[in-house]
Amino acid sequence: MSKSYSPAWRMFTVILFRPLLHVLVRNKWAGQENIPKKGPVIIAPNHMSYADWGTDCLFFYEAGRYPTFLIKASAFKVKFIGKMLYGCGQIPVNRGAADAALALKQAEQALHDGAAVIIYPEGTATRDPGLWPMVAKTGVARVALATGAPVIPVAHWGTQDVLPYGSKKAKLWPRQTVRTVAGPPVDLSQWAGKATSAKALRAATDAIMADVTALLASLRGENPPAVTFDPGKAAPPGAPAPSPEPAPSPEPAASPGQEPAS
C-alpha cells in the first residue's frame, strides 16, 4: 500500500519545528503513556488558540506519534505551506456540511491506514468567555463510531497566553508555559455500531467532551461551568456563526418488536 504522505516532508518538519517549539515554549506534559505507540487512534484536544497546533504537535510527536490534523482548506492554497501540508498527509477541510463530511471520510481512511488523527471536537477555538470547552460538533464521535478507533482526550492550558484567539501578535517573551495532559481512552462502548444515530452521536460527543473538560479542570485547578457554553444559542456579538455539521444518515425505522435506533 502506498503511503498517503511523504516521509521526507515529515522528516523536514521534524527537523525544522521540533527544536523551535522546544525553545519558544516551556512545555509541561503528563499522560503521554495513554497515547498508543502504533495503530489507529483519534486524539481529541480542547481548542483555545492558533498556537494549539504547535504545542499539540510536539506533545504527540514526543509521545511517539506523528499527528494528522484536519486543517482549514485555505491553508493548503498558500504557496509552499500547502505543498508541505499535503506532503505530510494533513487533511483539508472546507466550510460546509458536504465538504466537512468528505474530510471525515478522509480521516476514517487515515485511521484505517493506522494514523494518529487529531480532531478538535469544537471545530474552532472556544467562544466560552472563561475559555472552557464549548458544545462540540459530532464529527469526532462519528469517526470514532464508524472506525472503532480509540479516542484519547487531551487538554492544554497556556496557549491562550502565547497567542490569544483573534490576535496576530504572539507573546514569546517572557517564555510562556503550556501544560498538556492526555487521559485514558473514552469509553464509547454503549454507542458502538450507532454511527448513524443522531442521538448516539450527540451522547458520545458529550462523553468525549466531559473527559476533555475534566482534564482541563485538573490543569486549571478550577471547576468548569455547570452549563456548557453553546455558541449556537448564545454566540457573543461579532463572533462568526458556527459552521454546519454533516447531516447524519437517516435512521432506519424500527421493525415490529424492535426498539428505535439510538
Read off the pLDDT of residues 100-158 as tens digits, 9 standing for 90 and up: 788 999 999 999 999 999 999 999 999 999 999 999 999 999 999 999 999 999 999 99
- Which pLDDT band holds residue 4 (cuts at 50, 70, 90)? confident
In angstroms, the first-to-last Cα distance of the chain is 37
Res. 2 pLDDT band, cuts 50 70 90: low
Query: Average pLDDT in the 163-192 region?
Result: 94
Q: Which residues of 147-159 are buried (b: 16+ CB within 10 A; e: fewer)?
A: bebbbbbbbbbbb
pLDDT in tens, 28-59: 999 999 999 999 999 999 999 999 999 999 99
Per-residue model confidence (pLDDT) at position 248 = 43
Sequence ranges of the domains in the chain: 7-30+38-221
Q: Is the peptide bond before 174 cis (omega within 30 degrees of 0)?
A: yes
- The stretch 236-255 carries a mean pLDDT of 43
pLDDT confidence of residue 242:
47
pLDDT at 262: 33
The answer, yes or no, to whether residue 259 has pLDDT greater than 60, is no
Cell of 252: 432506519
Q: Is CATH 3.30.565.10 correct for 7-30+38-221?
A: no
Residue 162 binned pLDDT confidence (cut-offs 50, 70, 90): very high
CA–CA separation, 85 and 91 (whole Å): 8
Is residue 79 classed as helix, strand or coil in its secondary structure?
coil
- Pairwise pLDDT comparison (3 vs 182), residue with the higher score: 182
In whole angstroms, give the CA distance from residue 75 to residue 206: 29
The vertex-75 CA angle with 11 and 176, nearest 5°, equals: 70
- Residue 245: its pLDDT value, please? 45
pLDDT 10s digits, 184-235? 999 999 999 999 999 999 999 999 999 999 999 999 999 999 999 998 886 4
Distance CA 256, CA 236 (A): 47
Q: For residue range 83-104, what is the model confidence (pLDDT) as tens digits?
A: 999 999 999 998 766 677 889 9
Q: How far apart are CA 121 and CA 138, in angstroms?
A: 7
pLDDT for position 81: 95
